Chain A
Amino acid sequence: MNVLEPLVLAIVNTLFDVIPIAAILLFFQLFVLRRPLAHVKRTLLGIGYVVVGLALFLAGLEKALFPLGRLMAEALTHPALLGSAGSSWRDYGWVYAFAAAIGFATTVAEPALIAVSIKASEVSGGTITVWGLRIAVAIGVALGVALGTFRIVTGTPLHWYIIAGYVLVVIQTVFAPRLIIPLAYDSGGVTTSTVTVPLVAALGLGLASAVPGRSLLLDGFGLIAFASLFPIMSVMGYAQLGEWRARRAARLRQARALQDQPF
């Protein structure tokens, strides 16, 4: 019984989420474009899959993973586990480790990121792989969230981190391969969605209330901002790494070709 109730709730919520979108699409398709859709049945079935799939997904998360994740965020930030006073930032090792691990894991499961990766891989002709992009983004989120928890623990101002991050992004933009740049900027926005936000926000608020001297309002927010800034850097880094390896391989090939040449 208690599985059914969140399920129904999730379907209703997802429908409310989808109805305004469907209304807008329908209006423009019927009254502005005035063209019948090509594969009406298939498209409608697909949208139905999206609604039901998203609802099942959210209900399952709400049933299983979110409560556990929230409990865990509380337990890890609890003074009992932090041991001796928790006065230095070094006492929070497990918190950083958990932040990085949960940031990575939730990003890999993020449906919006899967969607963007599929599109990017399709458009790039396979140069950007679905899995490669997702891992790159997940590494970025892991680093970002871990650094964000470090910020809450030390109580340093949020905007210095964000501004420093912006400067790094701008510098990387100059050097990164041109084609990756829009995708990298986009991946900052897509990472923080249905799976990541609830768990990461719970971690931030839990930590801000556990660390002595932190304000819930001033310090509890801002983790999501880290999670959406760092993937920009890691995706550009992923492309830079790929370019560097391709260049090195080309150089090696050239060197070998020179060696093989008879005198």
Chain B
Amino acid sequence: MRQLLHDLLRSLGDSVRDLMPIVLVVAFFQLFVVRAPLPDLGGLLAGALLVVAGLTLFVRGLEMGLFPLGDTMAYGFARKGSVAWLLLFGFALGFGTTIAEPALTAIADEAAKVAAQGGAIAPSDAARSSYAYGLRLTVAFSVGAAVVLGVVRILKGWPIHWFIMAGYGGVVIMTALAPPEIIGIAYDSGGVTTSTVTVPLVTALGVGLAQSIRGRNPLLDGFGIIAFASLTPMIFVMAYGMAIG
């Protein structure tokens, strides 16, 4: 019991330390630069308490639930030895988690507005929503493909930097070809696709796979799936902008 309480207090302390910088930055700029008092101090404190409690629970749940689950499934697939199922799982995980991602939905709606203003699509609601949906499908597909590619790379033990450089080359070429209005959105979409629940799972999957295959180094081979998942959407979104425009 005492051990449990001790653990809980320590992880609460960790969360407070994690959040301290934000609180300090916001307070400093509010008081000394904007020179306005903090509005609604009570609400601010209540919110901060929620954030601390939430972060503590999240990290605890990560170690109890998500990490072991990702590990178990990685070992399970390695033991089963079926590459096809593993790749299908990777694709489903990438596609399924991205299509529902709220940040992506927001970016897609914004992009549809841009396209309508630029005259690439008809300025009607129907055209806009079909454009946004198409964009979301494109990004989700590209993340699914990225996870598949990442898993194949772990299985084969190929060095990651060739893929990244090829990806960068792709981004640069597409930048030259794509309509300028889509570029900012395309670059941003690479960053927003990887959500807080997906990242731990995909990381645990990659590292677990690298650990259960002989001759693979978990640090060298296990990481890198997230990198693919943030690179491919840029290329695909620019391609989408070109195809529609």
- Which residues of A are in contact with B by a Cβ distance under 8 Å? 2-3, 7, 13, 16-21, 23-25, 27-29, 32-33, 35, 37-39, 42-65, 68-69, 72, 75-76, 81, 94, 98, 101-102, 104-106, 108-109, 111-112, 114-116, 118-120, 123-124, 158-159, 162-163, 166, 169-170, 173, 178-179, 181-183, 185-186, 188-195, 197, 201, 217-225, 227-228
Q: Is B49 an interface residue (CB 8 A)?
A: yes
Q: Is B73 an interface residue (CB 8 A)?
A: yes
Partner of B51, one of A16, A46, A65: A65
Task: Give CA–CA (A114, B58) in the complex, Å.
Answer: 10
Q: Is B18 an interface residue (CB 8 A)?
A: yes
Q: Name 22 A/B residue pairs within 8 A (Cβ), A-sorted.
A: A7-B50, A17-B100, A25-B69, A45-B65, A46-B64, A50-B61, A51-B61, A52-B61, A57-B55, A64-B43, A69-B26, A105-B25, A111-B59, A116-B203, A119-B200, A123-B207, A162-B171, A166-B168, A166-B171, A173-B165, A217-B181, A225-B191
Q: Which residues of B contact A220 (CB under 8 A)?
A: 184
Q: Which residues of B contact A108 (CB under 8 A)?
A: 18, 21-22
Partner of B230, one of A42, A221, A228: A228
Interface contact A119-B67, CB-CB below 8 Å: yes
Given contacts A3-B46, A65-B26, contact A189 B194 (CB under 8 A): yes
Q: Which residues of A contact B92 (CB under 8 A)?
A: 24, 27-28
Interface of A is mostly: helix
Q: Which residues of B contact A13 (CB under 8 A)?
A: 102
Given contacts A33-B80, A178-B220, contact A20 B51 (CB under 8 A): no
Q: Fill in one digit per residue for B100-144: 1 if any A CB lies within 8 Å of its CB, else 0.
A: 111100000010001001000000000000000000000000000
Partner of A47, one of B66, B82, B203: B66
Q: Which residues of B contact A59 (CB under 8 A)?
A: 47, 50, 54
Given contacts A64-B46, A115-B62, A181-B160, contact A224 B230 (CB under 8 A): no
Interface contact B25-A101, CB-CB below 8 Å: yes
Task: Give CA–CA (A118, B204) in the complex, Å.
Answer: 11
Interface contact B187-A28, CB-CB below 8 Å: no
Task: Give CA–CA (A119, B70) in the complex, Å.
Answer: 12
Interface contact B227-A60, CB-CB below 8 Å: no
Q: Fill in one digit per residue for B38-50: 1 if any A CB lies within 8 Å of its CB, else 0.
A: 1100011111111
Partner of A28, one of B28, B89, B184, B192: B89
Interface contact A18-B58, CB-CB below 8 Å: no
Given contacts A33-B80, A102-B25, contact A60 B54 (CB under 8 A): yes
Interface contact A72-B30, CB-CB below 8 Å: yes
Given contacts A46-B61, A50-B58, contact A109 B19 (CB under 8 A): yes
Interface contact A111-B207, CB-CB below 8 Å: no
Q: Is B212 an interface residue (CB 8 A)?
A: no
Task: Give CA–CA (A39, B227) in the complex, Å.
Answer: 31
Interface contact A46-B77, CB-CB below 8 Å: no
Given contacts A13-B102, A49-B60, contact A189 B226 (CB under 8 A): yes
Q: Which residues of A contact B187 (CB under 8 A)?
A: 158, 162, 221-222, 224-225
Interface contact A45-B229, CB-CB below 8 Å: no
Measured CB to CB, the nearest residue on chain B to A223 is B188
Task: Give CA–CA (A233, B85) in the complex, Å.
Answer: 35
Q: Is B33 an interface residue (CB 8 A)?
A: yes
Known A39-B68, A43-B69; further 11 A-B contacts with Cβ < 8 A: A17-B195, A20-B100, A23-B96, A32-B82, A47-B69, A98-B33, A108-B21, A111-B196, A123-B222, A201-B188, A218-B180
* Shortest beta-carbon distance from A28 to chain B in Å: 5
* Shortest beta-carbon distance from B136 to chain A in Å: 13
Task: Give CA–CA (A21, B97) in the complex, Å.
Answer: 6
Task: Give CA–CA (A132, B195) in the complex, Å.
Answer: 22
